[in-house]
Amino acid sequence: MKIDAFCHLLPTAYAERLFAITDSAVARNIQKRVSGVPALVDLDERFRVMDEFGPDYRQIINTAAPPLDDLGPRARTAELARIANDGMADLVARHPDRFEGFCAAVALDDVDNAIGEVDRAFDELGAVGVQIYTHVNGGPMDQERFFPFYEAVARRGEKMIQVHPCRDSSWSDYKTEERSKFEIWWTLGWEYDLSAFMSRLVFSGVFERLPDIKILIHHGGAMIPHFAGRVGPGWDQLGSRTPADQAEDITGYPLTQRPIDYFKKFYVDTAYFGAGDSMRTAIKFFGVDHTLFGSDTPFDPEKGPGYIRDTIANLNDMDILTDADRDRIYSGNVTALLGLDKDAAPRASVESEVSL
């Protein structure tokens, strides 16, 4: 069994509501991008892509960027969350042999409403987790106002928080410029966003305060495993580079372990887009038990199968992994993390469906 733990999909009703928004530049941008990726909305195309990987391949689905918070006033973003979650729950219920579960959409511009929606998604719709982004309206996610949300998910035990990056061209590469060029905001900026998010949560003491919280970071933990020397012995010297008049910038929640030890408490996926050496580094840093198979489909150049195929090839070719390790990454870890059905049967093969 292969359970792809980080896949994007737009339920029909949600896509229709998203495409009806005409007063948001962010909405217009995603409308353009989605139009070129049929497997996001077309189930026939989606299933055709999935069939390439056999009857034991399934997905945990979520909606695609941008964050709901960027799509308009609070009443609209709350409406979008409800529509998205109802749609994903329906897809999981109607296609259990395709979709192992879904992670709810929430708008964190209203924390109380987000908690209510995630409770509804867990209790009434059966969501296995919730997807959030690396900032809300440009603000950091370690603000105390978000702690009740983290707490609400953490107390649920077998539920996870998926974290997706988000910035656009308005986040310039240099102070003297107005926009980021050459899509640097995406290629490098998204990985910085994820890394900064992780760092701020570590120093806010989220793992000290909520030791049972389960946070899955997209793109293999981004920059963190590749800069382990700076994250480790570098941050062991926290404060040595900070002027005395900026001491408040290095004062956070009192930590009882080295900073690097907290980073290893995050879970990460394998969405490295075929970069096997980078994936190897991430697995060695976070460990097999904190690594979940995830492809980021369908945003590859083939609009569906490419990243899945490359990720499987990377994992199958990696000589640091045993067969037992691969089993844990492919399905064992996510099954244990979320309390999924260990005895789920694969769907019939394409040939069997035809013969029937």
From the list 260, 271, 262, 290, the residue with the least C-alpha distance to 220 is 271
The Cα–Cα gap between 82 and 126 comes to 14
Q: What's the pLDDT tens digit per position in 115-152? A: 999 999 999 999 999 999 999 999 999 999 999 999 99
The Cα–Cα gap between 216 and 355 comes to 40
Neighbours of 88 (CB within 10 A): 28
Predicted confidence band of residue 182 (pLDDT cuts 50, 70, 90): very high
The Cα–Cα gap between 343 and 355 comes to 25
In the chain the first and final C-alpha atoms are separated, in Å, by 23
What's the mean pLDDT when you consider all of the chain? 94
Predicted confidence band of residue 8 (pLDDT cuts 50, 70, 90): very high
Neighbours of 58 (CB within 10 A): 26
Domains parsed from the chain with CATH numbers:
2-236+248-343 (3.20.20.140)
Predicted confidence band of residue 99 (pLDDT cuts 50, 70, 90): very high
Average pLDDT over residues 175-199: 97
Average pLDDT over residues 320-345: 91
| Per-residue pLDDT, 10 | 96
Strand order in the sheet with 129-133: 2-8, 57-62, 99-105, 129-133, 160-164, 215-217, 267-269, 291-292
Q: Residues with Cβ < 8 Å from 42, sequence gap 6 or more? A: none
Average pLDDT over residues 300-329: 97
User: pTM higher than 0.85, yes or no?
Assistant: yes
Whether pLDDT at 113 is above 90: yes
